[in-house]
Every structure is written in C-alpha cells, then in structure tokens.
Amino acid sequence: MHILKPLALGVCLVALPGLASANALTVYSAGPGALIEHLAADFTEETGIEVNVFQSTTGQVMARLESEQSNPLADVVISASWDSAKSLHEQNLLHPYLSPNAETVPDFLKTEHYVAQGVSALALVWNRDSDVPQPGDWSDLTDAAYRDQVTMPDPAQSGAAFELITGLLTAMGDEATWSLVEELSDNGMIVPGPNARALNPVLQGAKSVVFGAVDYISLGQQADGEAIEVIFPSSGTVIAPRPMMILASTDMPSEAEQFVDFVLSEQGQARVAERYLMPARTDIEALRPTIEELTLIEVDSEAMNAQRDAILQRFREATGS
C-alpha cells in the first residue's frame, strides 16, 4: 500500500510509492485540502486510528479509483459530485452504512450507502476592483461589458460545474442553455480547467467574473480579505452535495464507519462549516447562506447523468474547448 504524506496544511497530499503504513485508514477526498487534513488529524487524535489521505479534484479522485480497480487502496471516498456516488453504488462498489449521526441530515442528502459530508452551491464571483458592473444573473455575462472578462470551470473536470450545466438545462431547456453558453463563449469566456484555475484569474484581477464558481472556496477567500463578491443568481442555482462513502473492498469497515461517524459528529460538522460549506446536518450552524435561503433549481440528476457524455460533448462544441 502507498503512504500518503502531507506536504503542508492546505496543500494537496500525494502518494509515495513503495512505502507502507500498517493499520491506517485511507481516505480519498476532493478538496478543500485543509478540511480533510483537519478531519483526519482530529479523527486520529480522538480514535488513535491513523489516516492516509489523497486529496485532489473529483475527476482525479475518480480516475484514481478506476485505475486501482484490480487492487483497491481507498477505504473512504469523499467526492464533490453526488452522481459519482450513485455510479459507484450502481456498480455494487459501496459498503452499506447509515451513520447514527446522520439523523438530522435531510433525507435527500443521505442513502443507505452514502451521505453528504457538506453542501456547496454554484455562484457568480465578481472582483470588486474590476471595471465591469456587478452581475445579478447568469445571462448578464453575455453583455458586451463583460467581453473577455469571464471564466468558467470545466464541467468535465469539476463535478459542481457539470451540476450547474444540468441545472441550466433543467430550468431553461436545451436550446436556451446552449445558446447562453455559445454567447458567453463568443463574448470571450475562457474555460481554463478545474475550479481553482477558473477562480485564480479573477482573484488576481486578470479577469473579472467567474461563471459557476463553487461558492465555499470564494466565500473563504472573501473572508480572508479578497476584494470579491459571491452572488447567487436571482433566477436560481444548483447545490452540489459532497457524498461520503465507504468502498465495499475495504479491509477496515469498522474503522471506516467510525470515520464517517466522526465527520457527521458535531465536531466534524463544525470543521465542515469552518470551510464555508453548508454542514450536512441541519442542527449545525453555517457561516454562509443555506439551502433555505437560496433559490434552487431542482435537477433530475439520474436522468442528466445518463446523458453526461453527450452534455460534455455539446459543451465542448459550444465553447470550442
């Protein structure tokens, strides 16, 4: 087994081949890095169970799982895409477990095989120091005032960005959605990669607005003093629950269940809230707008995920990416 050694707090953890860490739980997690590092450290302090962590994007986490199918290394997986959990469940790759600490998690955020760690939403992020006006809705960014000033995460690399596209398709229909994406592309919108690559140019002032930013990342940056505003569009947005699941291949089911219990404990959910995510539990205070405060688009994720390849292909055609 690989040992995954932390380089520094908040920095992606990587695998170092050829080294072993006996009796350690292995957790693969989509970002944020600081959250899983804190959760792993807190869990180890409370239980004495060591945790190896691989932290990356959802796409890279899922690709790693796929590459290791013949020799699974992960025990617990935390993704930023609810559909990834559905897919693993449909392949009978998940260990059934519903934590007793999930009692106050809403029903739509838990199943017998996976449960939300926390929830994010999609937003516009605007640089207050830019020369463009503050937008209020998705379609505003097609205006000439935003020419060459907009970025968007790639839905092929960001589960949350894919959720946004499916939300727009649900709310607006195919023709209007792809017309919007084409207009944004014609207006100079770039699709540089995962969430951080879309946000960084706006933080640095090279661009002015992110279309479809994962809100918790930007809310954290705003709290740290960045000159940005996080705007939830008036026409509605989508949420992106972060499913947490135990793989059926785990050799440590009891320890894995303990880890899920801990993440859903008051202490664990407080850590989730610290990163400006919505806690999965409704009895834990959030530091940001919650589901009840947002205008949400309800998406048939199962139907949309069945069209994933076609949707991504149509997005590439619309953006030339």
What is the pLDDT at residue 126? 98
Convert the pLDDT of each residue in 129-179 to its tens digit. 999 999 999 999 999 999 999 999 999 988 889 989 999 999 999 999 999
Phi, psi of 239 (to 5 degrees): -100, 160
Given a cut of 70, whether residue 120 has pLDDT beyond it is yes
Spatial contact of 13 and 61, defined as CB atoms under 8 Å apart: no
Q: Write the DSSP string, 91-104.
A: TT-B-----GGGTT
Residue 231: beta bridge partners?
124
What's the predicted TM-score (pTM) here? 0.84
If pLDDT is split at 50, 70 and 90, which confidence band does 22 have? Answer: low
- Rounded distance between C-alpha atoms, residue 220 and residue 163, angstroms: 21
Q: What is the pLDDT of residues 41-69, one digit of tens each?
A: 999 999 999 999 999 988 899 999 999 99
Is 90 exceeded by the pLDDT of residue 213?
Answer: yes
List, for residues 278-290, the tens digit of each pLDDT value.
999 999 999 999 9
Task: Give pLDDT, residue 16.
Answer: 34
* pLDDT (mean) for 229-241: 95
φ, ψ at 262 (rounded to 5°): -65, -45
| Nearest by Cα to 45 from 262, 254, 256, 251 | 262
Give the list of residues 6+ apart from residue 29 with CB closer than 8 angstroms, or none: 35, 36, 53, 54, 55, 61, 77, 78
CA distances from 252 to 8, 23, 75, 285 (A): 27, 8, 7, 32
Calpha distance 272→288 (Å, rounded): 12
The span from the CA of 85 to the CA of 310, in Å, is 20
Q: How confident is the model at residue 17 (pLDDT cuts 50, 70, 90)?
A: very low
| Residue ranges matching CATH 3.40.190.10 in the chain | 3-119+241-287, 120-238+295-319
DSSP state of 139: G
pLDDT tier at 109 (50, 70, 90 boundaries)?
Answer: very high
Determine the residue type at 167: G
For 217-223, what is the mean pLDDT?
93
Which option is the CATH number for 3-119+241-287: 3.90.1150.10, 3.40.190.10, 3.30.70.380, 3.40.50.2300? 3.40.190.10
Q: How far is CA 294 from CA 23, 168, 195, in A?
A: 43, 16, 21
Are 191 and 99 in contact by the 8 Å Cβ rule? The answer is: no
How many other C-beta atoms can be found within 10 angstroms of the C-beta atom of residue 264? Answer: 27
Report the half-sphere exposure of 90 (CA within 13 A, side-chain side).
9
CATH superfamily of 120-238+295-319: Periplasmic binding protein-like II (3.40.190.10)
For residue 14, pLDDT over 50 is answered with no
